[in-house]
Amino acid sequence: FYKFVMIINDFSFKCHNSLKETSLSSRSMASKTPVGFIGLGNMGTPMAKNLLRNGYPVIATDVFPESCKELQDTGAQVVDSPAEVAEKADRIITMLPSSPNVIEVYTGPNGILKKVKKGTLLIDSSTIDPAVSKEMAVAAEKMGAVFMDAPVSGGVGAASLAKLTFMVGGVEEEYHAAQELLTCMGANVVYCGQVGTGQAAKICNNMLLAIGMIGTAETMNLGIRLGLDPKLLAKILNMSSGRCWSSDTYNPVPGVMEGVPSANNYQGGFGTTLMAKDLGLAQNTATNTKTPVPLGSLAHQIYRVMCSRGYANKDFSSVFQFLREEEGQ
Amino acid sequence: FYKFVMIINDFSFKCHNSLKETSLSSRSMASKTPVGFIGLGNMGTPMAKNLLRNGYPVIATDVFPESCKELQDTGAQVVDSPAEVAEKADRIITMLPSSPNVIEVYTGPNGILKKVKKGTLLIDSSTIDPAVSKEMAVAAEKMGAVFMDAPVSGGVGAASLAKLTFMVGGVEEEYHAAQELLTCMGANVVYCGQVGTGQAAKICNNMLLAIGMIGTAETMNLGIRLGLDPKLLAKILNMSSGRCWSSDTYNPVPGVMEGVPSANNYQGGFGTTLMAKDLGLAQNTATNTKTPVPLGSLAHQIYRVMCSRGYANKDFSSVFQFLREEEGQ
Amino acid sequence: FYKFVMIINDFSFKCHNSLKETSLSSRSMASKTPVGFIGLGNMGTPMAKNLLRNGYPVIATDVFPESCKELQDTGAQVVDSPAEVAEKADRIITMLPSSPNVIEVYTGPNGILKKVKKGTLLIDSSTIDPAVSKEMAVAAEKMGAVFMDAPVSGGVGAASLAKLTFMVGGVEEEYHAAQELLTCMGANVVYCGQVGTGQAAKICNNMLLAIGMIGTAETMNLGIRLGLDPKLLAKILNMSSGRCWSSDTYNPVPGVMEGVPSANNYQGGFGTTLMAKDLGLAQNTATNTKTPVPLGSLAHQIYRVMCSRGYANKDFSSVFQFLREEEGQ
Amino acid sequence: FYKFVMIINDFSFKCHNSLKETSLSSRSMASKTPVGFIGLGNMGTPMAKNLLRNGYPVIATDVFPESCKELQDTGAQVVDSPAEVAEKADRIITMLPSSPNVIEVYTGPNGILKKVKKGTLLIDSSTIDPAVSKEMAVAAEKMGAVFMDAPVSGGVGAASLAKLTFMVGGVEEEYHAAQELLTCMGANVVYCGQVGTGQAAKICNNMLLAIGMIGTAETMNLGIRLGLDPKLLAKILNMSSGRCWSSDTYNPVPGVMEGVPSANNYQGGFGTTLMAKDLGLAQNTATNTKTPVPLGSLAHQIYRVMCSRGYANKDFSSVFQFLREEEGQ
């Protein structure tokens, strides 16, 4: 989701010419040894290409042969299974759609952990339930490997341009080794704490984002019905305590801002389906930790209903359109 | 509510030495003619004092004699009823607790409109339903007077220091006449449009504020339960798309920021009762205009429950405390 | 709303041949003296006709001449204003769309109270805010008249067949006099308490009805997605603690029951717009009495959104359809 | 939860003298061969005792030795692990607190499936996510065993009196074999469909129950504040379309009914924590199947907040008390 821009101090030293490499652990010292990459979807493919571009040999696999083919043509070595990747690489990145895929790829019959070498660094950039990240970390540790979660902010564009933001959870001593690879694929890398906190940070941000967006849509709609000019209302909110990212950077009302999805019929941006997925993760996580999240929960329900009413592929700011449609239209 | 700071271009020219006075309408030209003031509560009294301080004779009244006494001691003339104020002043400011009080003071048996002179400027700074503002404007117009709504942001402190923000709705030609008086009591005056839009702007801002605050409280609580450090989480949110005023300026989690109510056991600030009142206005307004406001509505309910569970007089950021209390405690 | 059937002990003695008439007050003793009727809409017209059918002379008025014409043809005397009705009848029934209409008809310049005779019985069958009912009662009392609220359950069909249910609020001593007239128009008359409690009872019932209906729709939808047969699920719920009127009498899932709107593409029944109106009243009432109603409030929002998404004129059980539409459709 | 009474046709033939036994499968024909029982908590222990009472030898295990001791004293044989139970019994019942326990007991290192014999009937009476039930069924099938889910309604009292209700999901041909055992422990056994539908039925019922209860509490509270007598309001609702199990059988307002938790300071009954757990399952299930459940979701949040505010161990009808506390108290 390309609008999730973090201005955190820029860690993006160029991997291939950094003098600091020599100070890294033995694993990362050998920085041009192969890196495994599992999950070659819309996000994974450009990420893996950026590793290649930075001079890393890539050993890759995916369940879809055509995805493998594309990366093979760019110079990667393609193998048959996660287990085989684990035999050939001691640093592996996974980028998968959801928790069950992660469980399968790590602990399945042909999974990474069947063949993983001691000391291997496993970085999962999927967005999944933090509880699953923790389970994977425990399973990896039993085999002598290290697991970190590193979900991304930023969409396909950011992935291609190596402008992703990574939020990383895991043992602190291994963070630098992870950072070396992640900075080849992203502009910002933030260390969040123990395993699972990378997922937690992403889920939390997106939940608050959804709440702010729906709140902004409701507020703008109410103000307009009460006779306020939308631009003036946005200006007042943005100078006041109602201000939020959705009101001042990504306003959902057509005509208020340029260069945002609301100015382009809610095309592009961050799809309602994806937001609903992340809110589902937030909901599951909150349920499992017995944390009350009344607005987060209602936001989830609203995006869920929108998915079934024709908004699945529109940007999530289209909630303004969903709420405002006039009676009788 | 003192944190509602608007940085809009500063209109606060000193009234008593402004050369522009001569260019104003006949009513405001006579700028040192008496100004009426009705409603001498915690907010009204310091506001009226600022008019006196700026050299305006003040004709005041209130249902509580002791409030009248205090202002009388500062130099105001106290009279018995709104009608009597209307006989003696052609510019009148009202600052009352709720819609029924406003209706009574304007249209009651001893109300302003019983004795109002043609051309009188009536400025209501109460926070009420915009529909009532519109009714008052119609009633005033029938008597040849002009009504404007000008609710304030900022609390007692801001009222004393003449640092309030006024959001003004009414006929544009009369705006400058209103501005002359309001700038004696506030630092910012924003013209919002037709009658009622001042109220609308305030209600909208506070609804989005409440949503952002509860959303921030839920999110911080969830993140903490998932193992994130609260300060780090706030930092990540504030650099990301989850950012809002409640996360970056008024964070509800003790220990994250200084100088905010969460750092002081939720004392001071903007009370939960007052927020519940404003959300009630937003709800009524939304209901009456058939505008869906699902999150605003739920925010209202949450603050309503909090009022009955011991949080009535705590700052509205105490929703964090309300939601987080551990099971079994 | 014809499905709102009350099986309360049947008060429906035939007015015209009741021996009890002689025991009633002087006003109702003269039972064939004229009855005023104001508001000749879809509901009011058949109600007034039932009074005529029972031998009461009717003095009627309405803002729409064509409505007056229809009743005139049936034998009513039509006059020009509510005030004129009040001059000619000492028992008056009003049946109006909303609070502002009631205020106008009672307290407006040509309103009932301008000409009302001492001792007149005023019965308002409109569904409005109970606070307005109380205001009207106070205003009537000042003129020496008696006001009662008596909103109805049952739709146009029930109105025609004199099968309405009336929920009556007002001074208990006057209840029998009201009952005499109401039993000519309805099958059940329930005394609820002081003025406003008739409205309160109706609003409360409809709020719980809406909650039960949406809850049933969500539950049936969830069960179906989990592989349960809808009829079996309904049967299980109806024998268990999930049972409610919406699950056992008015099930919203097509194919589960016959003779209900869900069996007829959600035509007929009680329209979503009307439910949204009643929930708006419940919301306003709750807001004004500071009563938390989280589910009632969310139910209101859901029906409000439905109104703007094409469900305005479908039966309110169509919330099942609103929630279930599959992704991608 | 003893109030969840199903009046379904009574399947409760006495197991020990039924002539039908001879018509059952070979497994159940040998009806007095041992039955395994895993999970000897508050519910499991009385259930296992009822099997003993009906003449079944019981092979039991539990992680808590003291629970095992109690059952051993009643005549059961206690063994060390689920695997050992599976070695010795070809019909096994499990009654465990939550999904992870079920997964461990079936698929863990000492789990049932390590030693299960071909053709064994596995009946899980835990209340868990239906998706986990399906996983267990698949895993059991791989070993040649049959898995059914059969969660119960009814609390400890019903368990002791063999008055539970079982909702059963699984292959229909095996249902009679399951029924033979379940009727020894419960009064009603309902076949719901494929594996997981027993859980689905229970979850659905409890979600609608929670919605009805909170809705009833809100409605009664609103009506009382509007001046209605609680008993009269309950009577009106129960004769009207607002009627539900929570209003007519388990009214949450003290003084309206006798013999319910609200008449006894919300002691006994079905604890708020348990309801929150079931709503969490409903929420997870809805999230995972992408089913919108706005009211169910909010009900979950309300019970979650109640758990952290001192209501964890009160009956779930105490939501009335939670919502009504007066301002200032």
Residue of C nearest to D218 (CA): C293
Judged against a pLDDT cut of 50, whether residue B210 lies above it is answered with yes
Q: Which residue has the tokens 């208020």?
A: A256
User: Looking at the DSSP assignment, which residues form a beta bridge with residue A146?
Assistant: A121
Residue of B nearest to C276 (CA): B290
Tell me if B233 sits within 8 A of B223, measured CB to CB.
yes
Q: Which residue has the tokens 């100070």?
A: A23
Please state the rounded mean pLDDT for residues A274-294: 96
Asked if B200 and A228 come within 8 Å (Cβ–Cβ), the reply is yes
Superfamily of chain region C200-323: N-(1-d-carboxylethyl)-l-norvaline Dehydrogenase; domain 2 (1.10.1040.10)
Interacting residues of C120 by C-beta distance below 8 A, sequence separation 6+: C86, C89, C90, C91, C92, C144, C145, C146
Fold agreement (A15-195, A200-322): no
Sequence length of chain D is 329
Judged against a pLDDT cut of 70, whether residue C1 lies above it is answered with no
For the beta carbon of residue C265, count every other beta carbon within 10 angstroms. Answer: 12
Residues of chain C neighbouring D279 (CB-CB closer than 8 A): none
Residues of chain A neighbouring C319 (CB-CB closer than 8 A): none
The whole-number pLDDT of residue D28 equals 47
Read off the pLDDT of residues A162-182 as tens digits, 9 standing for 90 and up. Answer: 999 999 999 999 999 999 999
Read off the pLDDT of residues C141-198 as tens digits, 9 standing for 90 and up. Answer: 999 999 999 999 888 889 999 999 999 999 999 999 999 999 999 999 999 999 999 9
CA–CA gap between residue D64 and residue D59 (Å, rounded): 15
Interacting residues of C209 by C-beta distance below 8 A, sequence separation 6+: C245, C246, D240, D241, D242
The whole-number pLDDT of residue C99 equals 93
Instruction: List residues of A whose CB lies inside 8 A of any C CB.
Output: 273, 298, 305, 307-309, 312, 322-329
Tell me if C192 sits within 8 A of D236, measured CB to CB.
yes
Read off the pLDDT of residues B233-252 as tens digits, 9 standing for 90 and up. Answer: 999 999 999 999 999 999 99
Residues of chain D neighbouring A288 (CB-CB closer than 8 A): 280
Residues of chain B neighbouring A246 (CB-CB closer than 8 A): 241
Tell me if A12 sits within 8 A of A188, measured CB to CB.
yes
CA–CA gap between residue D159 and residue D41 (Å, rounded): 11
The whole-number pLDDT of residue D14 equals 29
Residue of B nearest to D327 (CA): B308
Average pLDDT, chain B: 89
Burial class, A65, CB count within 10 angstroms (exposed 0-12 / middle 13-18 / buried 19+): exposed
The alpha carbon of residue B52 is apart from the nearest alpha carbon of chain A, in Å, by 29
D32 is catalytic: no
Q: How confident is the model at residue C325 (pLDDT cuts 50, 70, 90)?
A: confident
Read off the pLDDT of residues D216-251 as tens digits, 9 standing for 90 and up. Answer: 999 999 999 999 999 999 999 999 999 999 999 999
DSSP string, B128-183: --HHHHHHHHHHHHHTT-EEEE--EES-HHHHHTT-EEEEEES-GGGHHHHHHHHT
Q: Of D291, D301, D307, which has the smallest distance from its Cβ to A297's Cβ?
A: D301
For residue A76, which phi and psi values (nearest 5 degrees)?
-80, 155
The whole-number pLDDT of residue A4 equals 35
Judged against a pLDDT cut of 70, whether residue A219 lies above it is answered with yes
Read off the pLDDT of residues A10-44 as tens digits, 9 standing for 90 and up. Answer: 223 223 333 333 333 445 445 579 999 999 999 99
Judged against a pLDDT cut of 80, whether residue A316 lies above it is answered with yes
CA–CA gap between residue C130 and residue C141 (Å, rounded): 16
ipTM of the complex: 0.87
Structure tokens belonging to residue C176: 């029998």
Residue of A nearest to D294 (CA): A301
Q: How confident is the model at residue B36 (pLDDT cuts 50, 70, 90)?
A: very high
Judged against a pLDDT cut of 60, whether residue B28 lies above it is answered with no
Q: How confident is the model at residue B3 (pLDDT cuts 50, 70, 90)?
A: very low
- Chains with 3 or more CB pairs under 8 A to chain A: B, C, D
Kindly state the DSSP code that residue C113 receives in the 8-state scheme: G
Residues of chain A neighbouring D297 (CB-CB closer than 8 A): 283, 297-298, 300-301
Residue of D nearest to B323 (CA): D305
Q: Of A308, A324, A329, which has the smallest distance from its Cβ to C327's Cβ?
A: A308
For residue A320, which phi and psi values (nearest 5 degrees)?
-60, -45
Between B19 and A108, the more confident residue is A108
Sequence length of chain A is 329
Given a cut of 70, the residues of chain D with pLDDT beneath it are 1-31, 326-329
Q: Which fold has domain A15-195?
A: Rossmann fold (3.40.50)
Q: Number of B:D CB contacts under 8 A?
A: 28
Residues of chain D neighbouring C299 (CB-CB closer than 8 A): 295
For residue B166, which phi and psi values (nearest 5 degrees)?
-110, 130
The whole-number pLDDT of residue B156 equals 86
The whole-number pLDDT of residue C155 equals 83
Predicted TM-score (pTM) of the model is 0.88
Read off the pLDDT of residues C101-134 as tens digits, 9 standing for 90 and up. Answer: 999 999 999 999 999 999 999 999 999 999 999 9
Please state the rounded mean pLDDT for residues C245-273: 95
Right CATH number for A200-322 from 3.50.50.60, 3.40.50.740, 1.10.1040.10, 3.90.1150.10? 1.10.1040.10
The whole-number pLDDT of residue C179 equals 96
- What percent of chain A stands above pLDDT 90? 85
Q: Number of A:B CB contacts under 8 A?
A: 253
Q: Which of D202, D231, D235, D314 is catalytic?
A: D202
Asked if B308 and D329 come within 8 Å (Cβ–Cβ), the reply is yes
Judged against a pLDDT cut of 90, whether residue C27 lies above it is answered with no
- Mutation for testing the A interface, residue in C311, C320, C323 having most A CBs under 10 Å: C323
DSSP string, B251-277: --STTT-SSSGGGGTT-SSSBHHHHHH
Asked if C307 and B300 come within 8 Å (Cβ–Cβ), the reply is no
The answer to whether domain C15-194 has CATH 3.40.50.720 is yes
Between A3 and D42, the more confident residue is D42
- Mutation for testing the D interface, residue in C197, C226, C248, C302 having most D CBs under 10 Å: C226
The alpha carbon of residue C78 is apart from the nearest alpha carbon of chain D, in Å, by 36
Q: Of A312, A324, A329, which has the smallest distance from its Cβ to C328's Cβ?
A: A312
Average pLDDT, chain A: 90
Residue of D nearest to C168 (CA): D228
The whole-number pLDDT of residue A12 equals 30
Please state the rounded mean pLDDT for residues C5-11: 31
The whole-number pLDDT of residue A216 equals 98
The whole-number pLDDT of residue D329 equals 41
Asked if B312 and D323 come within 8 Å (Cβ–Cβ), the reply is no
The alpha carbon of residue A2 is apart from the nearest alpha carbon of chain D, in Å, by 25
The alpha carbon of residue C64 is apart from the nearest alpha carbon of chain D, in Å, by 33
The whole-number pLDDT of residue A329 equals 41
Right CATH number for B200-324 from 3.40.50.150, 2.40.10.350, 1.10.1040.10, 1.10.3720.10? 1.10.1040.10
Domain positions in chain B: 15-194, 200-324
Judged against a pLDDT cut of 80, whether residue A288 lies above it is answered with yes
Residues of chain D neighbouring B308 (CB-CB closer than 8 A): 323-327, 329
Asked if D215 and C215 come within 8 Å (Cβ–Cβ), the reply is yes
